[in-house]
Amino acid sequence: MKTIRQQMMELLAEREMSARELSQAVRIREKEVYEHLFHIAQTLSTKRKCLVILPAQCLACGYVFQNRKRFTRPGRCPQCKKSYIQEPTYRIC
């Protein structure tokens, strides 16, 4: 039986997924996914692999959250102040 992180790493190696999709696939809360992603990124760095974060984007004005270091989804756009945000997706390269 595989751990939650091992399951998440397998899923992310196959295709890119959002935190919501990961939480549904491994049956944990979305909030817990973000904690696991931090540890997965650390584990992958020792294996010479990386966790790629495809940044969130504002669906109202198109602003891309390029320099965001956190794994969580932003609350609102700094340009238009709306909260219509496409969540970031993750994958393993």
Give the chain's domain count. Answer: 1
The 3-state DSSP class for residue 32 equals: helix
**Predicted pLDDT at 46:** 87
Per the structure, the complete domain to which residue 45 belongs is given by: 4-92
pLDDT tens, 12-21?
A: 999 999 999 9
Angle CA 12–45–56, to nearest 5? 50
pLDDT tens, 59-93?
A: 999 999 998 888 898 999 999 999 999 999 999 98
For position 36, which CATH number holds? 1.10.10
Residue 22 has pLDDT above 90, yes or no: yes
The pTM (predicted TM-score) of the whole model is 0.86
